[in-house]
Chain A
Amino acid sequence: MTKSELIRRLADANPNLYLSDIERIVDAIFDEITDALVRGDRVELRGFGAFSVKERDGRLGRNPRTGEAVDVPSKRMPFFKTGKLLRDRINGDETGGDDD
């Protein structure tokens, strides 16, 4: 499913809304998550999952061809942890139950 398919499915389920509104809704959601991660905030969507930013320390790497030592700078990486409900549903457990 791509973003445009997601928009189409939401439009089908919400015939009272304009397609342009659905597009703005979907953009607002992903922009908000992006902005939070850029600030270093965590995004917790219970049942679905949580986005966070992990810092990876810089290290001394090596050019595999020449063996020359190179400085690999630290970097910040986005990370997603699947929520319990989604994890269970994907494995065929539709009962729900306690979520993390």
Chain B
Amino acid sequence: MSNSTITRVDLAEAVYQRVGLSRSESSALVESTLQEISDALVAGDNVKISSFGSFNIREKSERIGRNPKTGVEATITPRKVVVFKASQVLKGKIHDSEEG
């Protein structure tokens, strides 16, 4: 198992290699894709990418938390969080990779 990090640059390179757009178009399309997904989530929509996974908005209610450093209690305001649920296909590929 390697341990490197891939970024937008690598995604743009993959688009460039596979689709044959220019490098600048490829990176613009990677950006637009992430932007469309973000905008849908901000609008309150869940995003489902088949055979990859879904990004869902979950509403968290107010609760009492604690500053782990100082131990001081504080009220954590209600907020929304994004929860990613990997598809069975993605889970299967990742799980199978340890045997290969």
Binding site for B on A (CB under 8 A): 1-3, 6, 9-10, 13-14, 17, 21-22, 24-26, 28-34, 36-49, 51, 53, 75-80, 82, 86-87, 89-91
Q: A6-B36, A25-B33, A38-B94 in contact; A44/B47 too (CB < 8 A)?
A: no
Interface size of B by CB at 8 A reads 52
Q: Are B41 and A90 in contact (CB under 8 A)?
A: yes
How far does the Cβ of B18 sit from chain A's closest Cβ, in whole Å? 5
Give Cα distance in the complex from A76 to B99, angstroms: 11
B residues sitting closer than 8 Å to A (CB atoms) are 1-8, 10-11, 14-15, 17-19, 21, 26, 29-30, 32-34, 36-38, 40-42, 45-53, 55, 57, 79-82, 84, 86, 90-91, 93-95, 97-98
User: Could you tell me if A41 and B14 are in contact, using CB atoms closer than 8 angstroms?
Assistant: no
User: Could you tell me if A76 and B33 are in contact, using CB atoms closer than 8 angstroms?
Assistant: no
Separation of A89 and B11 alpha carbons in the complex (Å): 23
A53 touches B82 (CB 8 A): no
A39 vs B1: C-alpha distance when bound (angstroms):
6
